[in-house]
Amino acid sequence: MQIYSQLAPLALGGAHGSAVAMGFFDGIHIGHRAVINGAVEWARAHGAAPAVFTFRLPTENKMKGKRLLSTEDKHALIASLGVEHYLCPDFEEIKAMTPEQFVLGIIRDCNARALFCGENFTFGARAAGTPELLRQLCAPLGVEVVVLPMAQFEEKPVSSTRIRTALEGGDIPAANAMLGMPYAIRFTVHHGAGLGRTLGVPTINQLYPQGFQLPRYGIYITRTRIGDRWYPSATGLGTRPTVNSDESKVTCETFIPGFTGDLYGTDPVVEFHAYLSPSKKFDTLDELRECIDHAAQRAQEYFAE
């Protein structure tokens, strides 16, 4: 049984084989980068092909928690780290494999000479495989196994779970430190109610897809990339209590001072840099506009420093 039928009978890296980093890698945080960079550096040193093995889960699947990245953005980030081959079967295709089938499948189909993982990596049906078992299975085959220790932040292991918890608490500096980059979203801009334009503070309206991790409701200093240019911006995430009585309707609206143009249907990147204040219900729309203007001014000052 071949895990990656679309790759067989390709032999990655030819006679020099490949170095494969393995994991789900949601968020591509600093611990994930250590594993991926290890495989890339090994491949360079040995003339091999750097590869990543991961897998797709439906966003409604709770097994790995709520998503930090889309599959497409995860792929792009991994490619930016120097990875040449990206292997991403659906979880359904591999979940019933024994640990032995899983490992032998990767070694065969990827022509693997080295496998890289984190110390908390599990594999095979019921997550029965451990890094120690991985070493035992690979040793007779002459395949090197490199197990990276978990990255640390504030003397505790970095994990996607900790990053989600930091986002839920509005602790953007901690989330960004563990990610090794600013937490960001790239969702399609939809038509909203047009209230911001009426108030003189037009916003772009992005909707979090189901299954994605939401940060704490409130107002954030952000910056938004449109084309090749970054703009300081202010983002409000929540249920818009001043103008909306439906508490189940969550919006993510970003005001980009100094930008004029139609972004409907595009998917600009919005990076989160600081949490300013919780969402609140204002008595008047003038107070709401003043709050948005103040947040935008704070964002411009933040990025001017």
For the chain, the domains span 2-150, 183-303
Residue 2: pLDDT band (50, 70, 90) is very low
Read off the tokens for 228.
């090749």
pTM of the model: 0.90
Q: What is the three-class DSSP state of 21?
A: strand
Percent helix, strand and coil across the chain, each to the nearest 5:
35, 25, 40
Share of the chain above pLDDT 90, in %: 72
Find the angle CA(165)-CA(66)-CA(236) to the nearest 5 degrees.
Answer: 65
| Fold assignment, 2-150 | Rossmann fold (3.40.50)
Read off the tokens for 209.
């897809």
- Across the strands, what pairs with 85? 51
Beta strands in the chain (DSSP E): 18-22, 49-53, 85-87, 112-118, 144-148, 152-153, 156-157, 184-185, 189-190, 203-206, 218-226, 229-238, 251-255, 269-277
The per-residue pLDDT for range 220-274, each reduced to its tens digit, is: 999 999 999 999 999 999 876 545 555 556 889 999 998 888 899 999 999 999 9
The per-residue pLDDT for range 9-68, each reduced to its tens digit, is: 346 767 789 999 999 999 999 999 999 999 999 999 999 999 999 999 887 777 788 999
CA 163 to chain centre: 10
CATH assignment of 183-303? 2.40.30.30
